[in-house]
Amino acid sequence: MAEDTNNTKSSNQMWGGRFASGPAAIMEEINASIGFDKKLYAQDIRGSIAHATMLAHQGIISADDKDKIVHGLNTILSEIESGQFVFSRKLEDIHMNVEARLAELIGAAAGRLHTARSRNDQVALDFRLWVKEELQKVEVSLTSLIAAFLDRAEEHADTVMPGFTHLQTAQPVTFGHHCMAYVEMFGRDRQRVRHAIEHLDESPIGAAALAGTGFAIDRHMTAKELGFREPTRNSIDTVSDRDFALEFLSIASICATHLSRLAEEIVIWSTPQFGFVRLSDAFSTGSSIMPQKKNPDAAELVRAKTGRINGSLIALLTVMKGLPLAYSKDMQEDKEQVFDAAESLELAIAAMTGMIRDLTVRTDRMKAAAGSGYSTATDLADWLVREAGLPFREAHHVTGRAVALAEEKGCDLAELSLEDLQSINPAITAGIFDVLTVEASVASRKSYGGTAPSEVKKQIAWWRARN
């Protein structure tokens, strides 16, 4: 798209009646938003077509003028999409760029389009439409990410790995169960996206500058035409409100936080020390100096993009927090934050989906690690409660002594002899060895939502029916 940055001083075409001389160059630079809000061209044109159609339907403009306006707007749409349109910074923003071109194309009738509206409700409309479409895209990409996790979870419902707390080996779990934890997180993100779409599904157009209008407009008609559930109810709120942008950024930040935790796990898992996964070449890079290296750059960048997305949320919250009602020009700063966060989020979700689909799970390494660090100690304690009738606190103490003994002997809990174990507590029988293996430990955790493969498979089926 071309841009005309020619900086001649002339009075503005839109409010030239009151302003005798053009703006200082620096004013033009700080004031103009066309550099970024041209992204809203399709929403702007759609909104204007709906508005003109309603104005004609209500007899506020003639059918003939409406036809000229609609035709002119469609011409502008194709000019922009084919790259012929010349954007001008002197015309400030997308709204005035489109309207000025409309005047060139159709003459006087163009001047009737802005009847009963203001750029305040116009920008609120354009931006809401854009955010709504973006949320719909995020909903689709989260569904793909969830699908990738469901496939990996199904494949690895029985693959044992260590579960961690404090990144210290805690209890054995399955890789399938771990994958399903992310399904829950991204499932909640997707619910938040759906709720946000519901919240913003109200049409702002017709609120005009802030007070509504004396023209007999039909806001229900434009709302319907533009695919909104209903019109907004308070014109002051309508032009002041950027909750929909803040909500988008909050959701993006929470989702990015989930992506970042996953990225961090991938970085850790792919180190030679952990070696739980091998990243595909497609999502890693080599080192220019160390030939043995394979770096998880994509995961690292997903982790880093989270900082950027969180920054956008804080930036817009800060812009909005001191604004009196209704519109203030500060609000023009909303767009770049949302556009940037949207781009980063889409990229991060797509990269993670690819990485999850492509990575090789090293089941041997996971299994070896699952048994280390006395990960079945809780199972020993539980056995003492169940089979020997010990109170849990006492069982915990006995188990602690067994761990200390194993540590002293440099072996696993399952490698202690029955005599060793009975020297700590005589109630222990050979049956104990059934629960000391990693597989037995995992299989026993059948509580609802637990890590037993049978339970994980139930959760996978639950999600498959909803994805």
Name which of 260 and 332 has its Cβ closer to ligand ARG: 332
Name which of 209 and 268 has its Cβ closer to ligand ARG: 209
Annotated catalytic residue 270: no
- Taking the complex as a whole, the smallest distance from the CB of residue 59 to ligand ARG amounts, in Å, to 28
Contact status: 342 vs ligand ARG (CB under 6 A): no
From 259, 385, 376, 358, select the one nearest 310 (Cα to Cα): 259
Residue from 10, 62, 78, 287 carrying the catalytic annotation: 287
Question: Is 113 in contact with 102 (CB distance < 8 Å)?
Answer: yes
Name which of 219 and 242 has its Cβ closer to ligand ARG: 242
How far is 269 from 260, CA to CA, in rounded Å?
14
How far is 16 from 166, CA to CA, in rounded Å?
66
Helix axes 377-388, 392-409, angle to 10 degrees: 130
Residue with tokens 């994805």: 467
Contacts for 434 with CB less than 8 Å, ≥ 6 apart = 440
Per-residue interface string for the shown chain with ligand ARG, residues 207-246, x marking contact by CB under 6 A:
----------------------------------------
Query: Of 312-331, which residues contact ligand ARG (CB under 6 A)?
Result: 327, 329, 331
Contact status: 337 vs ligand ARG (CB under 6 A): no
- Taking the complex as a whole, the smallest distance from the CB of residue 118 to ligand ARG amounts, in Å, to 7
Residue from 21, 82, 166, 288 carrying the catalytic annotation: 166
How far is 257 from 46, CA to CA, in rounded Å?
35
Output the CA–CA distances (angstroms, integers) from residue 134 to 139, 199, 224, 238, 354, in the order listed: 9, 14, 20, 20, 20
Q: Which of 332, 337, 376, 437 binds ligand ARG (CB under 6 A)?
A: 332
Query: Of 77-106, which residues contact ligand ARG (CB under 6 A)?
Result: 93
- Taking the complex as a whole, the smallest distance from the CB of residue 107 to ligand ARG amounts, in Å, to 25
CA-CA-CA-CA dihedral for 32, 37, 43, 49, to nearest 10: 20
From 179, 182, 150, 178, select the one nearest 164 (Cα to Cα): 178
The Cβ of residue 413 has, within 10 Å, a number of other Cβ atoms equal to 24
How many residues lie near ligand ARG (CB under 6 A)? 10
Name which of 1 and 268 has its Cβ closer to ligand ARG: 1
Name which of 35 and 275 has its Cβ closer to ligand ARG: 35
- Taking the complex as a whole, the smallest distance from the CB of residue 45 to ligand ARG amounts, in Å, to 15
Name which of 52 and 123 has its Cβ closer to ligand ARG: 123
Residue with tokens 């709302």: 223
From 393, 377, 354, 156, select the one nearest 266 (Cα to Cα): 354
Contact status: 252 vs ligand ARG (CB under 6 A): no
Residue with tokens 């750059």: 297
Q: ω into residue 452 within 30 of 0, thus cis?
A: no
Contact stretch for ligand ARG (CB under 6 A) within 17-25, 116-124, 216-224, 302-310? 116-124
Name which of 126 and 379 has its Cβ closer to ligand ARG: 126
Per-residue interface string for the shown chain with ligand ARG, residues 169-208, x marking contact by CB under 6 A:
----------------------------------------
What b/e readout covers 337-360, taking b as 16+ CB neighbours within 10 angstroms?
Answer: bbbbbbebbeebbebbbbbbbbbe
Contact stretch for ligand ARG (CB under 6 A) within 117-125, 229-237, 288-296, 397-405? 117-125
Contact status: 65 vs ligand ARG (CB under 6 A): no
The enclosing H or E element of 124 equals helix 119-155
How far is 264 from 43, CA to CA, in rounded Å?
38
Name which of 147 and 209 has its Cβ closer to ligand ARG: 209
Question: Is 287 in contact with 296 (CB distance < 8 Å)?
Answer: no
The greatest distance separating any two alpha carbons of the chain, rounded to the nearest whole angstrom, comes to 101
Annotated catalytic residue 166: yes
- Taking the complex as a whole, the smallest distance from the CB of residue 232 to ligand ARG amounts, in Å, to 17
- Taking the complex as a whole, the smallest distance from the CB of residue 24 to ligand ARG amounts, in Å, to 17
Contact status: 131 vs ligand ARG (CB under 6 A): no
Q: Which two tokens stand for residue 433?
A: 């060895």
Question: Is 38 in contact with 1 (CB distance < 8 Å)?
Answer: yes
Residue 307's Cβ-side half-sphere holds a number of Cα atoms within 13 Å equal to: 4
Q: Which of 12, 33, 159, 353 binds ligand ARG (CB under 6 A)?
A: 33
Residue type, 112: R
Contact status: 344 vs ligand ARG (CB under 6 A): no
Residues that bind ligand ARG (CB under 6 A): 33, 37, 93, 119-120, 123, 327, 329, 331-332
Active site residues: 166, 287
